[in-house]
Structure 1
Amino acid sequence: MKINTYIFLITIIIAFTACSNKTVQNQYVINTDYKEDKKVQEIEEKVLKDKINILDTLSKKEKEFLEILKKDSYSSLCSQKDFYTKLEKLESKEEISKKLKEFFPIYVENLENSCINKEAFKSEIKKNKYKDLKYSYEFYTKKINTQNIIKEYEKHNVSIKSILDNHTPSHPDFFKFISFKNSSDLNKKQKARLNLNIERLKVLKDYKSNDFIQLNIPSYNFSLYENGKNVKSFGTVVGSKKNQTPILSSKLSYFIVNPTWNIPSSIAKKSIIPKALKDKKFLKKKNIVIREKRYDLDAKKVKFSEVKWDKYLKEDVKYIPYKFIQLPSKTNGMGRVKYMFKNDHAVYMHDTIGSWRFKIPKESIRAVSHGCIRLEHPISLMKHITKKYTPKTYKSVRYIYDNEKTDSISLSKKLPLHITYITSYIKDGKLKFTDDIYGYDKIQKLNYEI
């Protein structure tokens, strides 16, 4: 019994001693780990302190550019979006300064000419699957003189912001869109669409004017901006997917009161001639006359009955040597006012007899024209344009209008006009998206991944 008790006591002592040694050993490991962690922390703090000290030695202009890159304030890092991160890892002031200077012209280039992959887009729309669609999208790019940009960068009395502002789109939505770039409410697809729309604003023709007209295709919308503010907005009807309204920039130069309608040969072939063959009084009822070879009321007159029209209705016949002109009237397809701006597609803005279409914002109702833009409130626009942009009085122009006389009214100063394809917009402080009616959001790509 005494032997068993003795053995039990020895076992407890050995166990207690082992535990004590283990505790001491663990305490040693903890102390060692703590010292190692503290040493690493001290090294990291020193590196960070050294980095801060390096950044403090940069010039005021370099610091300004660095801050712009950190936020990508002009949305122009594009394919070099990790440039700022790489810059932070550099260990000398000289390296950082050199990289900033080298990158500045690239940032300006991206800001001025966008980060849309233009060549890939042009190649894509040439593919057979798009051959029946009249895709036309103008990019207004500028050649950047790298040496001049660097000289501007090196000037001590010129800020980075002032240089970049000279290359920034004047459209008032540019920075508004940028403010939504990092929104957590947007999914990947929406962020890609927003970024694409930011880039599209960069390649509008720059008229250096805060007064302009915007005709935005996917939102079926007319907007008149004055001093950068939207002062007049209403609905439009635009080209169908097969007969697309081209994306371009131009200038509104004049408008025609009580216009004639020069009916395109394609419409004459598909609609006017077949209807006139069925109804001998159709042309008279619609106030349509025929002239030989050119759209000119002084050209040689042609009677419908004098021509054998069947041969011109054949699918392989493209040219018709007779021009159909609808005279001014309340039933004219152009309505009562036609707004003209120079372009290679013979498109313009005009009044319409189909005003019911503006009540329904659906593609099947609002994207149906042959390329021209129909206006919801053309007379209200005529009044505003006459008063602010012509030497005429509205009373004198209204007299011409009311008496169904035809006249052209020139603008004393041409008004910049942009036909755009922007699929995002801001309403009540929130970013929203339109339908992609022509499919540009799918086939137009950026040169970087979101």
Structure 2
Amino acid sequence: MKIKIVLAVLFAAVLSGCVGTPDAEGWRSAQKNEFLKILKTDKYASICDQQSLYANVKESENSKLMTKLLVAYTKNLANGCIVDPSLTVKEGEKTIVGYGTYSQKVSESDIKMKLKAGQSIENILKPYVPTFNQFSCLIKAHERLKNDSNTSASTLRKIRLNIERVKLMKPGLGENYALINIPEFVVRIIEKKKTAVMMNVVVGKRKMKTPMFSADLSYITLNPQWNVPDSIARNEVIPDLLKDPGYLTKNRMVMRSTYDLNSKKLSPSSVNLNAYVGGKGYVPFKFIEVPSEKNGLGRVKFIFPNHHSVYMHDTQSKHLFKRKVRTYSHGCVRLAKPSLMLDYISKNYTSTTPEEIKEKYDSLKTHYVKVTKRLPVHTAYFTTYMDECNNLLQFDDIYGFDKSHKLNF
């Protein structure tokens, strides 16, 4: 197997035109020239915290130092140059690392093997270059604007932060995907680099942030029931129910032993509600808002399974879409035009006919529609975004992540 890998690497090297006499470190003159050219413009915005090493390499062209810089450059390209300890999420008592980041393994020995085999530097870096077009678009914008005396330092820093955020996204964005840009309060469905659908959204409050992650759309729920999370039950529903015994009826809610509407019926008087007021933790009974035209989740949910329990959905609070800052949810993403999203996804990503969708929708009963074609959903935090790679859009740092990130360059 190892022989096959070595032969494959050598074949790639021949194709790249870098085969020649290597030095003791494995560098050929063509590779050195190529790497220095990449570094001169910082083509992939990954010199980052290696500025002093780069200065030494540029002056000496020392092969050992150049290898060290190549490894560092690749790691910066693969996993970014910013580390924010706040980017974690708590699930119960566990803290999950990698909240919004998808690290890639970078093997120093593999890089050295490819280098010694004569592969071009571009080939060595290629597996780690983000395919999301925002990467190249933002780099080009940064290059253009840093030479413009009218561009502020804060704008340049903002663009650089968002270049780094692209690196932290899950590799293999997909040719078609949904992108929820949290600070912009917008979701787009992108088809072959073009925006096919775009609409405003409401995202999580500052204390209940919408997380950054990637997951595939799995199914659509028509006429959903709302399973009230235990945290909301403790801090909102139970306190209101203690004040007003008619709260459940007024809000079209029922109380059950589980989130199954067919499970055992319970009444508020059958449990000690005061024991479950406030705080966190498991609640041994459940509140469910039944499907209806006035359901808090509206008439449709779009489910992309994830451990954050975040999804896109309709909402009764249409007035919130008139506001510029739309941070009002518990973390889920509310859609301004759910019917448009339903129509587009059902026609293009399910095998269910429009007639069947309408029949299920009009029934006011819960139905599930399976997504049959892959559509990744990415929630992201871009405070700068290149619209179709033409216009630089800038947005407020609603969660304070721009401020909290430390740039090491």
Whether the 8 Å CA contact 1:239–1:367 is kept in 2: the answer is yes
Counterpart of 1:257 (choices 222, 226, 238) is: 222
**In structure 2, do the counterparts of structure 1 residues 62 and 234 end up closer, same or farther at CA, with 3 Å as the change threshold?**
same
Paired with 1:333 and 1:383, the residues of 2 have a C-alpha distance of 21
Alignment match, 1:393 = 353
Q: Secondary structure at the match of 1:320?
A: coil
Deviations 1:72-117 (A, max 9, x none): 1110111123555433422xxxx4555434422221111111111x
Deviations 1:212-236 (A, max 9, x none): 2211111111111122322211111
Q: Say whether 1:300 aligns with 2:264.
A: yes
Query: 5+ residue gaps in structure 2?
Result: 1-26, 90-95
Alignment match, 1:418 = 378
Tell me which amino acid in the other structure corresponds to 1:194.
I
Alignment match, 2:102 = 140
Paired with 1:441 and 1:339, the residues of 2 have a C-alpha distance of 29
Alignment match, 1:442 = 403
1:264 is displaced (CA, Å) by 1.6
1:445 is displaced (CA, Å) by 1.3
Deviations 1:352-384 (A, max 9, x none): 11122112222xxx1011111111122211122
1:70 is displaced (CA, Å) by 0.6
Q: Secondary structure at the match of 2:373?
A: strand
Name the one with the larger helix percent.
Answer: 1
Q: Secondary structure at the match of 1:391?
A: coil
Percent identity, please: 37
Q: Say whether 1:220 aligns with 2:185.
A: yes
Paired with 2:57 and 2:238, the residues of 1 have a C-alpha distance of 68
Counterpart of 1:235 (choices 189, 200, 220) is: 200
Number of residue pairs matched by the alignment: 372
Whether the 8 Å CA contact 2:297–2:314 is kept in 1: the answer is yes
1:270 is displaced (CA, Å) by 3.4
Paired with 1:327 and 1:247, the residues of 2 have a C-alpha distance of 29
Alignment match, 1:335 = 298
Q: Say whether 1:103 aligns with 2:63.
A: no
Q: Say whether 1:380 aligns with 2:346.
A: no
Whether the 8 Å CA contact 1:244–1:370 is kept in 2: the answer is yes
Alignment match, 1:166 = 127
Tell me which amino acid in the other structure corresponds to 2:142.
K
* Of 348-357 and 387-396, the range deviating more from structure 2: 387-396
Q: Say whether 1:114 aligns with 2:84.
A: no
Whether the 8 Å CA contact 1:136–1:247 is kept in 2: the answer is no
Superposed counterparts of 1:21-60, under 5 Å? 59-60=29-30
Paired with 1:305 and 1:387, the residues of 2 have a C-alpha distance of 47
Counterpart of 1:180 (choices 124, 135, 141) is: 141
Alignment match, 2:365 = 405
Paired with 1:299 and 1:125, the residues of 2 have a C-alpha distance of 35
Alignment match, 1:46 = none
Tell me which amino acid in the other structure corresponds to 1:171.
F
Alignment match, 1:40 = none
1:125 is displaced (CA, Å) by 8.1
Q: TM-score, normalised by structure 1?
A: 0.76
Whether the 8 Å CA contact 1:250–1:416 is kept in 2: the answer is yes
Paired with 1:415 and 1:163, the residues of 2 have a C-alpha distance of 29
Tell me which amino acid in the other structure corresponds to 1:329.
S
Whether the 8 Å CA contact 1:423–1:435 is kept in 2: the answer is yes
Alignment match, 1:11 = none
Whether the 8 Å CA contact 1:286–1:331 is kept in 2: the answer is no
**In structure 2, do the counterparts of structure 1 residues 395 and 65 end up closer, same or farther at CA, with 3 Å as the change threshold?**
farther
**In structure 2, do the counterparts of structure 1 residues 380 and 135 end up closer, same or farther at CA, with 3 Å as the change threshold?**
farther
Whether the 8 Å CA contact 2:235–2:279 is kept in 1: the answer is no
Q: Say whether 1:81 aligns with 2:46.
A: no
1:305 is displaced (CA, Å) by 3.8
Paired with 1:391 and 1:154, the residues of 2 have a C-alpha distance of 51
Alignment match, 1:201 = 166
